[in-house]
Amino acid sequence: MLHTFQIFCPGCVQIGIPQAQRISQEFDPDRVAVIGLHTVFEHHSVMGRDALEVFVHEYRLRFPIGIDKYEGQPQGVPLTMREYQMQGTPTLILIDKNGYIRLHKFGHISDLTVGFSIGALLSEEADESAQLPQSAEPLTSNATCDTDGCSV
Amino acid sequence: MLHTFQIFCPGCVQIGIPQAQRISQEFDPDRVAVIGLHTVFEHHSVMGRDALEVFVHEYRLRFPIGIDKYEGQPQGVPLTMREYQMQGTPTLILIDKNGYIRLHKFGHISDLTVGFSIGALLSEEADESAQLPQSAEPLTSNATCDTDGCSV
Amino acid sequence: MLHTFQIFCPGCVQIGIPQAQRISQEFDPDRVAVIGLHTVFEHHSVMGRDALEVFVHEYRLRFPIGIDKYEGQPQGVPLTMREYQMQGTPTLILIDKNGYIRLHKFGHISDLTVGFSIGALLSEEADESAQLPQSAEPLTSNATCDTDGCSV
Amino acid sequence: MLHTFQIFCPGCVQIGIPQAQRISQEFDPDRVAVIGLHTVFEHHSVMGRDALEVFVHEYRLRFPIGIDKYEGQPQGVPLTMREYQMQGTPTLILIDKNGYIRLHKFGHISDLTVGFSIGALLSEEADESAQLPQSAEPLTSNATCDTDGCSV
């Protein structure tokens, strides 16, 4: 499970990250790997690595968290976020045993639906039946935040 | 999904029944059938059919709800509750395509875990691999309620 | 503080009664007396004294609770509810040191506003400055419930 | 009402700031002035004015917010925080009509108690009966955060 967020996105801090924490606590880490990704697409100057480290420390996050990259200096939408065609933060992505994206949701998603999707994916045999994600279109940056999250 | 409850059980009214409502709303009723069961094992005189009907009306429950039966007059633990060896209310039970009980939980269970279990069960082929429930032992009635629910 | 409710009113059970419990726990009972009143204006046959006693026991309510009366058999709107011109349940009423009604709210009221009102009333000297409630008009019974409560 | 916070303090972001927003929305601003104060006593380099401005924008805070000062460069406990002898963040302080501190609470405080205190203070006549705060002792910086907030 890939959970993408920004440290100043209210929908991430209040809803998305607590959900990621529940998932990392309830499921066996050998079967469900929870990975955070800091996908900063706005206010880059105040959401650097140092600020993220303070955030992770104070919120006591225990799962591994990556930092999305840019071509050159941090500005606009970062590379993974573009490649995966994310619409904003938070975004929850489920990747199956074969490495394919099977669930891709921007904004709120219920615990019932996430749990259901994880249960269905873990019941599958590892094979090549899953579809490759379509090639990514470049996203333009025009960010706004509401109670669901921050959109690009 | 079988959700058993009593109308004066705080853990049922505040946690269990709202969860059953979420399940009935989020999943396709052709794939996940939500059924309530009023398993009255205490205070029988004030939890009859007429009181249940008022409760269902006021809480606007939309899924079908059965009433557990007794040998003779309502007293002690009712028949299905005994047969299924339920410890109290609320109890959430998942029954698979072959009619076997696959999840049986008294008290609180998270949406993530219920969702996961439903996702895993729906991914199975219908077959005879599931185990029959063990024969039921008679339960003695010595009910107490706490924040999780009311136990027999 | 007078808190009126019905045991099958969702807005009472989920919001009003927990608020009454918080008030009874946070304030000195010598300064703020919390009194419940079961004002049954619908479904009288299943909300009698025996059902109320089970409810109070299971929800572990610790403040005193009265039962509103009728002229003759229980039917329609009970006497105190009529006299105080209550619109439905839950209703929260604050009565000052001189016995006058100073706050009268049907449905949801925030903890901030209830707390504020109690703080203001306790700062007053006991005197005759308060206004008498206006004489009550008979209410007609045409009850419906929503998330705020059940209205007459 | 003075609400002090830090933008990376979970107890502030999840509990204290939503409470300050409720207070600013429920009470007449001519009678209850809500003022925020960013009292950074740790991680100074990532909680500067630019980060605070992004936070205020994204969380849509509408009440005025000040930034506590330091002697010289930002480090250790800032000046107002020292002078008011605050133990950490969040801290809620009520100042009466005469300019005296009347409530001073570090960590969680219920809406009922805050509302009560505001109601009692607004019922007072403006006079000189209130006590001056005691002179502040220097605080040492040894910060830790838990669910209640971050303590110095």
Which residues, other chains included, contact D55 with Cβ-Cβ below 8 Å and sequence gap of 6+? A8, D7
Asked whether D120 and C119 are in contact (CB, 8 A), the reply is yes
Q: Do the Cβ atoms of A126 and A99 come closer than 8 Å?
A: no
Residues D79/D68, Cβ–Cβ less than 8 Å:
yes
**B119 burial level (CB within 10 Å; 0-12, 13-18, 19+):** buried
The yes-or-no verdict on residue C51 having pLDDT over 60 is: yes
Q: CB–CB of A14 and D14 under 8 A?
A: yes
Which residue is listed with tokens 């109690």? C118
What is the ipTM score, two decimals? Answer: 0.83
Query: DSSP string of A33-45?
Result: --EEEE---S-GG
How confident is the model at residue A149, as a pLDDT?
77
The answer to whether the Cα torsion of B88, B94, B95, B100 is positive or negative is negative
State residue B132's pLDDT score: 41
Orientation of helix D17-26 relative to helix D111-122, angle to 10° = 40
Residue D59 in contact with partner chain A when CB distance is under 8 A? yes
**C116 in reach of chain D (CB within 8 A):** yes
How distant is the alpha carbon of residue B124 from its chain centre?
23
The pLDDT score that the predictor gives to residue B149 is: 76
**A9 touches A20 (CB < 8 A):** no
pLDDT for residue C9 is more than 80: yes
Instruction: Tell me, yes or no, if B146 comes closer than 8 A to chain C by beta carbon.
Output: no
Q: What is the pLDDT of residue A143?
A: 57
Do B108 and B11 contact (CB within 8 A), yes or no? yes
**Beta carbons within 8 Å of D124's beta carbon, 6+ residues apart:** C123, D96, D97
pLDDT number for residue D137 = 35
- Report how far residue C119's alpha carbon sits from residue A115's, in angstroms, rounded to the nearest whole number: 46
User: Is the Cβ of D114 closer than 8 Å to some Cβ of chain C?
Assistant: yes
* pLDDT digit string, tens, across residues B69-110: 999 999 999 999 999 999 999 999 999 999 999 999 999 999
CB contact set of B57 (below 8 Å; sequence gap of 6+): none
Give the pLDDT score at B98: 93
Rounded Cα distance between C17 and C37, Å, is: 11
Closest Cβ opposite residue A110 in set B111, B113, B118: B111
**Residue C23 parent element (H or E):** helix C17-26
By C-alpha distance, the chain A residue nearest B118 is A116
Half-sphere exposure of C71 (CA within 13 A, CB side): 4
Could you tell me the strand order of the sheet in which A150-151 lies? A88-89, A150-151, A144-145
For chain D, how far is it from start to end, CA to CA, in angstroms?
A: 21
CB D75 within 8 A of CB D106: no
Query: Is the pLDDT assigned to residue C97 strictly greater than 60?
Result: yes
Size of interface A-D (CB pairs under 8 A): 40
- Average predicted confidence (pLDDT) for chain A: 89
Mean pLDDT of chain C: 89
DSSP assignment of chain D equals -EEEE-TT-HHIIIIIHHHHHHHHHHS-TTT---EEEE---S-GGGSSHHHHHHHHHHTT--S-EEE---SSSS-SS-HHHHHTT--EESEEEEE-TTS-EEEEEES---HHHHHHHHHHHHTSPSSS-SPPPPPPPPPP---EEETTEEE-
Distances from the Cα of C120 to the Cαs of C9, C94, C95, D91, D93, in angstroms?
30, 11, 12, 23, 19
Chains adjacent to A (≥3 CB pairs closer than 8 angstroms): B, D
D26: left (phi over 0), alpha (psi -120 to 50) or beta: alpha
What pLDDT does residue C129 have? 47
Confidence of residue C133 (pLDDT cuts 50, 70, 90): very low
Facing residue for D54 by CB, picked from A8, A50, A59:
A8
Q: How far apart are CA D93 and CA D2, in angstroms?
A: 5
Question: Which one of C114, C120, C124 has the shortest CB-CB distance to D112?
Answer: C114
Q: What is the pLDDT of residue A131?
A: 43
Contacts C113 to D, Cβ<8 Å: 26, 115
* Residues of chain D positioned with their CB less than 8 A from the CB of A9: 58
Query: Whole-angstrom Cα distance, residue B60 to residue B21?
Result: 10
Residue A75 has pLDDT above 70, yes or no: yes
pLDDT confidence band for A140 (50 / 70 / 90): very low
Tens-place pLDDT, residues B21-52: 999 999 999 999 999 999 999 999 999 999 99
Q: From the CA of C151, how many Å to the nearest CA of chain B?
A: 12
Q: Confidence band (pLDDT; 50, 70, 90) for B64?
A: very high
Question: Contact, C116 vs C102, CB < 8 A?
Answer: no
The answer to whether the Cβ–Cβ distance between B26 and A118 falls below 8 Å is no
In this structure, what is the dihedral angle of CA atoms B61, B64, B65, B70, given to the nearest 10 degrees? 170
The verdict on a CB contact (< 8 Å) between D58 and A150 is yes
pLDDT < 70: residue spans in chain D: 126-144, 147
